[in-house]
Structure 1
Amino acid sequence: MYESDTVWEFSITDRITFGMGASSELGDDLLARDASSLLVITDDELRDAGVVETALESVPEETAVSVFEGVEPDPGLDIYEAAIEAARECGPDVIVGLGGGSSIDVAKVTGGLVASDRDVLEYVAPPIGDGVDVPAADTPVIAIPTTAGTGSESSPAAVVSLPDRELKVGISSRRLYPDLAIVDPLLTVSLPPAVTAASGLDALTHAIEAYTTRHFETKPAPDRADERPDYGGRTELTDLYAEKAIELIGDSLRQAVDNGSDLEARRDMSLASLLAGIAFTNAGLGATHAMAYPVAGENHTPHGVTVAVLLPHVMRYNAPTAREQYGTVAQRLGEPVDGLSDREASERAVAAVESLRDDVGVPDDLEHLGVERDDLSRLAEKTEQIQRLLVGNPRRVDQTDLETIFENAYRAD
């Protein structure tokens, strides 16, 4: 599977604190940094639900706390710019991103660009932006996720929505890794079932795509940015993280959705999200995520739901190239595969993903998400432009292939 002389890299958030009640460690970290001021980037729903207050209980009384609560799902340029301006006004010693992937993404970019005089879009990859690297930041960022799915707390990337262009674009830099990720499963207990399901399936998609990305034996030429993947391809180490994440999700997602107070299930899902995030930020993603971006950009569909609809169909397409890996996926999801051929085992993997998706109440086709059949060709054309993700897909895919996958995902039989 791997060449013995292959050289690969592996990156991770500087420090991770994980466990029930881990958010109580925030105060000690602020004291260790001698931080006198703090900016919390979050959303108003978490404030109203009391999650912000809970997460900040350990903050020393003498620490001045400012809160930017203007984050919305799929944040656009205006939200990023407003958060950066809020940071410039209060000049915090530390920035905390508290919430789902959107809040953490905004916090990471805010910490990286608070001292920059460039526009946010300049840091987006071409052709939308200039691909300027994020400058070395003076303001440390602490990520505290309240969902179990996005993996943003362990990712060096952030997603920016451009609704006027019906696009989602990314900013990616090693300098966007949070300085500290505090993962406290207790903060996810209040998540409603639908959000738990969608975020959990997002984590599953991260893990499965990371586990099946191409293994790059050589790095693409740096002057061919259109062919350069976001990440380095799967390795023995990313496989370990991805496999464990898949197993945890298969064991725990149904219970986390059906009984949100099940602390063991919540813990397992938080750990799975973290592990899947570490896996995909090093190994990369594939066609499922590439296809999901234009769908969500045009139809404003939740990311986790979108990838959950597309994943089984991409798996079926990729199966001829990734049957061995999918056999392991099936096994990790609890499917008996002993005595089965690679083809039969890979089919079990697809069926297991579909069964899990159905059991947690997520729609099974694009039609249910409001996508029009007449849009599929255009969505395929937009997807083909996202080569930074498609280059990592285990099986080569062109626009005709993408149209077929979209068509298969459009209406459930």
Structure 2
Amino acid sequence: MYESDTVWEFAVADHVKFGNGATEELGDEVATRNVSSVLIVTDEQLREAGVVDTVRASVPDDVDVDVFDGVEPDPDVDVYESAIETATEIDPDGIVGVGGGSSLDVAKVSGALAPMDRDVLEYVAPPIGNGVPVPDSETLVFAIPTTAGTGSESSPAAVVSLPDRELKVGISSRHLYPDLAVVDPLLTVSLPPAVTASSGMDALTHAIEAYTTRRYDAKASPDRAGGRPDYGGRTQVTDLFAEKAIELIGASLRQAVNNGSDVEARRDMSLGSLLAGIAFTNAGLGATHAMAYPVAGENHTPHGVTVAVLLPEVMRYNAPAVADRYGKIAELLGEPVDGASDRDASDHAAAAVETLSSDIGIPSGLDGLGVAEDDVPRLAEKTAEIQRLLVGNPRRVSEDDLEAVFAQAL
């Protein structure tokens, strides 16, 4: 066997455009790539708000444009299949996802799977699906986020909700990377404070978990390159992205929530979200996200709020394994840690996250999200099944450990 544990990989969207007014350059990209027809995938609210018109206006007049606005928050299989059916009927050269993570996820999957004649869940890993490989499609996908949080514009994954099972599952493949990500902070200016807060804490959690997940050489070594896990573990490169993301978000999220028209704060949040997305889609996540999925699945809580409530207690649990890293996080969040031990500094990091969440109106405990003490054993059992995320947690976590963390987070 070759020394596979000395090799790491790094991937991003094929091309990224970032900056105020970047949406106006979509038309140039469409023309350069010889796209003659596009399908915009979005939600009804963004269409009514005129955001879709802004995107559409940037597309050359000689390009046919259709719109699918049936995306809903936490899209289920029906939403994905409806979008895929529309894409199959129209057969566009390009699909443009406009919106939050839900719209971008649906756009990416529609671009890859139309006109595949398979159930969407077949592409989900067992035991839910069959793990059918996502095909390499010729349909170009352009991702235009209108929130600063999910990182879907730089992600090779999409989340599918299963309301009948009170569960969320993912489809992951290198073929789900967008061909172009257009990150325009001006599209986030109209976001309400609550959405800004939720999505911002999601981005911060992405960055913190990417920065503290297991190193690439501490994960199980595959027998061949193709056997590496989707999340390869942190590297010196992902650390660079995560550190800058934490610094940007920590310094700008409060202002973005309190004064949404502050373009500089919005720009920093958009950049922080993009960098955090690049970091976590390469390095991986951990127990915070694994625990959040069953909580949100059962209680229908916003993902960003759910991870924000859980993150401080997960940080405290993980502190013995990566106290030095949490100390650096405290410093990046502006905490005075000079002369403090790693363990004391890591306590400052968890407290800083709690304070930030409180300042922007995030509930302080799971009980505020509808979770009761009796729910804890069931939530821990469901979380223990999400090994694709737990395998990256820096400290080993058993079902009993998960129960304890859930109880602390109440």
Which category describes the TM-score, using the shorter chain as reference length? over 0.9
Is 1:90 the counterpart of 2:90? The answer is yes
What amino acid maps onto 1:378 in structure 2?
A: R
State the partner residue of 1:113. Answer: 113
2:216 and 2:235 in contact (8 A); partners too? no
| TM-fit CA distance, 1:42 | 0.1
**2 CA distance for matches of 1:69 and 1:236?**
40
The question of 1:361 aligning with 2:361 is answered: yes
Question: Matches of residues 166-181 of structure 1 in structure 2 within 5 Å?
Answer: 166-181=166-181
Q: Percent identity?
A: 73
**Residue correspondence of structure 1 range 25-36 to structure 2 within 5 A:** 25-36=25-36
Give the distance between the partners of 1:107 and 1:250, measured in 2 at CA: 30
The answer as to whether partners of 2:40 and 2:67 remain within 8 angstroms in 1 is: yes
Which residue does the alignment assign to 1:278? Answer: 278
Per the alignment, residue 398 of structure 1 pairs with 398
CA–CA separation in structure 1 for the residues paired with 2:184 and 2:171? 26
Map of 1:231 onto structure 2: 231
* Unmatched segments (≥5 aa) in structure 1: none
Give CA-to-partner distance per residue, 1:359-392, whole Å, 9 cap, x none: 0001111111111221110000000000010000
Aligned position for 1:193 = 193
TM-score by length of 2: 0.97
Judge conservation of contact 2:71–2:79 (CA < 8 Å) in 1: yes
SS at match of 1:181: strand
| Whole-Å separation in 2 of the counterparts to 1:351 and 1:219 | 29
How many angstroms apart in 1 are the aligned matches of 2:247 and 2:221? 36
Aligned counterpart, 1:182: 182
Give a deviation string over 1:45-97, Cα, whole Å, max 9, x none: 10111111112221111211100000000000000000000001111110001
Contact residue 56 and residue 65 of structure 2 kept, 8 A: no
Q: CA RMSD in A?
A: 1.6
Following the alignment from structure 1 to structure 2, what is the Cα–Cα distance between the partners of residues 63 and 168? 36
> Paired residue for 1:338?
338
**Which string of whole-angstrom CA distances, capped at 9 and with x for unpartnered residues, describes residues 226-263 of structure 1?**
x9753100000000000000000111000000000000
| Mapping for residues 150-169 of structure 1, pairs under 5 Å | 150-169=150-169
Q: Is this contact kept in 2: 1:229–1:387, CA < 8 A? A: no
**Residue equivalent to 1:99:** 99
Q: CA deviation at 1:216?
A: 3.1
In the alignment, is the contact (CA less than 8 A) between 2:310 and 2:409 conserved in 1? yes
Paired residue for 2:258? 258
Match of 1:267 in 2: 267
**In 1, distance between residues paired with 2:332 and 2:168?**
32
Alignment correspondent of 2:72: 72
The whole-number CA distance in structure 2 between the counterparts of 1:214 and 1:274 is 21
SS at structure 1 position matched to 2:70 = coil
Could you say which residue in structure 1 is the equivalent of 2:138?
138
What is the distance in 1 between the residues matched to 2:30 and 2:366?
45
Between 1:129-138 and 1:144-153, the stretch displaced more is: 129-138
Separation in structure 2 between the aligned mates of residue 58 and residue 142 of structure 1, nearest angstrom: 13
Task: Give the Cα–Cα distance (whole angstroms) in 2 for the partners of residues 207 and 333 of structure 1.
Answer: 12
SS of equivalent to 1:358:
helix
Retained in 2: the 8 A contact 1:228–1:388? no
Q: Secondary structure of the equivalent of 1:301? A: coil
Please state how far the C-alpha of 1:33 moved relative to its aligned partner: 1.6
The letter of the residue matching 1:233 is G
Q: For 1:217, what is the secondary structure of its paired residue? A: helix
Q: Distance in 2 between matches of 1:384 and 1:100?
A: 28
2:375 is matched by which residue type in structure 1?
D
Q: Output the CA distance in 2 between the equivalents of 1:36 and 1:137.
A: 17
1-structure distance, mates of 2:232, 2:60 = 41
> Aligned to 1:59, what secondary structure does the other structure show?
coil
Runs of at least 5 residues in structure 2 that lack an aligned partner in the other structure: none
Q: Is the 8 A contact 1:322 1:394 kept in 2?
A: yes
**1:138, distance to aligned residue in structure 2 (A):** 1.3
Instruction: Write out aligned runs for 1:303-342 (5 A).
Output: 303-342=303-342
- Calculate the TM-score normalised by the size of structure 1: 0.96
Cα offset for 1:30? 0.9
Question: Residues 218, 361 of structure 1: CA spacing in aligned structure 2 closer, same or farther, 3 A cutoff?
Answer: closer
After superposing the two structures, state which structure 1 stretch, 187-196 or 30-39, moved more. Answer: 30-39
Tell me, what secondary structure is at the counterpart of 1:298?
Answer: helix
Equivalent residue of 1:323, what SS? helix
Amino acid at match of 1:207: A
Distance 1:273 1:216 in 2: 22
Deviation at 1:289, TM superposition (A): 0.1
Residue 274 of structure 1, CA deviation: 0.2
Call closer, same or farther: CA 1:205–1:219 in 2, change over 3 Å. closer
Once the two structures are superposed, residues 284-335 of structure 1 have per-residue CA deviations (whole angstroms, 9 ceiling, x without a partner) of 0000000000001111110000000000000000000110000000000011
> Is the CA contact (8 Å cut-off) linking 1:229 and 1:392 kept in structure 2?
no
Equivalent in the alignment of 1:125 = 125
Whether the 8 Å CA contact 2:41–2:95 is kept in 1: the answer is yes
Supply the AA of the counterpart residue of 2:290. A
Look up the match of 2:372. 372
1:12 match: 12
Q: Say if 1:26 and 1:56, in contact at 8 Å, map to a contact too.
A: no
Of stretches 30-39 and 310-319 in structure 1, the one that deviates more from structure 2 is 30-39
Is the CA contact (8 Å cut-off) linking 1:230 and 1:389 kept in structure 2?
no
C-alpha distance in 2 between matches for 1:219 and 1:275: 23
Instruction: Read off the aligned partner of 1:261 and give its amino acid letter.
Output: S
The DSSP-based 3-state class of the residue aligned with 1:196 is: helix
Deviation (angstroms), 1:218:
6.3
Q: Secondary structure at the match of 1:130?
A: coil
